[in-house]
A = this chain, B = another copy of it.
């Protein structure tokens, strides 16, 4: 029997380069279901995320971690979750995921989920922070500012927040779409946008300010993660096509600052192209992998049609439910191992090549990109 690529790989640390914290308490069944999908609730006529690829994957892979048989029914599963308690459940799934390094985007509902430090404690591994740019700006507004002082205060806040961070994250896709003017905004434009925002209130959704944050991040030099592709009903998916970033990528390619495109489904072939032609572009299929479940292999293969293997990263994008860490890593690694083993069987590459590719994708590239060592 041929050795599998997984066996040939050294036991390299598994780096989840983009994830979030966990709910500290057991969610009720309705809330659990909401966390299983990107929608806002159950569908008409009995449609539920349980009856979708992610739900099927959860019922296959997660019950055994809680001492239940695979394919247990949702009610039974949720009952057992309560029985064990959230802490024990979180601990079990984090450890079962095999992830040994967590890069945590702390910008989404930070008060309701675990911090990087809590995640590190629960998992027994190390967690670092990825700072969400928009949150820094919103924090500055919340703490009180003026249109005149806004830019400088954001710069100060960024300097403080980024000191200990390994990367930054932009959700411009959600707020303004990716078809924004790719150039740095003038100081006057930032001031005018801040003025508008301070008068209108609400969350950040002003192109000049998003652009200001992005260009400050380009100067800073930490990898910039972009939300791309699928998300919840708050976004217009067709305005999250990564090709809309083409001009921004042209403008930043010589900066030396890496741009990391997250999730990407259903535009994963588009980011494969961008990773191919732009030297500073890296990509993942996080979030998509656990959603599409047993189809992760197809999505992975389509991504690598053009994306060089050294440009692909592993991420779960897990949020809230600890199951998503396990599902994110299981679906991705299973897809990756099958893809690489099939290539060996077809003589497309050697076992040695495949093992090297596996080590890079599962952590090596992330360690270099985010300077984790």
Interface positions of A (Cβ within 8 A of B): 37-49, 51-53, 56-57, 59-60, 70-71, 230, 232-233, 236-238, 241, 243-244, 246-247, 250, 253, 256, 258, 265-266, 269-270, 272-273, 275-282, 291-295, 298-299, 301-302, 304-311, 343, 346-350, 353, 357, 365, 368-369
Q: Which residues of B contact A280 (CB under 8 A)?
A: 43-44
The 3 closest A-B pairs by CB, nearest first: A47-B310, A238-B243, A52-B308
Q: Are B230 and A236 in contact, CB atoms less than 8 angstroms apart?
A: no
Identify A278's interface contact among B39, B53, B270, CB under 8 A: B39
Q: Are B246 and A236 in contact, CB atoms less than 8 angstroms apart?
A: yes
Q: Are B347 and A46 in contact, CB atoms less than 8 angstroms apart?
A: no
Q: Which residues of B contact A57 (CB under 8 A)?
A: 348
Q: Are A43 and B308 in contact, CB atoms less than 8 angstroms apart?
A: yes
Q: Are B368 and A258 in contact, CB atoms less than 8 angstroms apart?
A: no
Q: In whole angstroms, what is the CA distance A153 to B236 when docked? A: 36
Q: Are A294 and B38 in contact, CB atoms less than 8 angstroms apart?
A: no
Question: Apart from A39-B277, A238-B243, A238-B270, what are 13 other A-B pairs with CB-CB below 8 Å?
Answer: A44-B258, A44-B369, A46-B310, A46-B368, A47-B279, A48-B308, A51-B308, A56-B349, A59-B349, A71-B350, A266-B273, A293-B348, A299-B305
Q: How far is the CB of A222 from chain B (nearest CB, A)?
A: 13
Q: Are B238 and A47 in contact, CB atoms less than 8 angstroms apart?
A: no
Q: Which residues of B contact A232 (CB under 8 A)?
A: 277
Considering only CB atoms, which chain B residue lies closest to A246 in the complex? Answer: B236
Considering only CB atoms, which chain B residue lies closest to A309 in the complex? Answer: B51
Q: Are B43 and A279 in contact, CB atoms less than 8 angstroms apart?
A: yes
Q: Which of A253, A293, A306, A309 has the most CB atoms of chain B within a 10 A radius of its CB?
A: A306
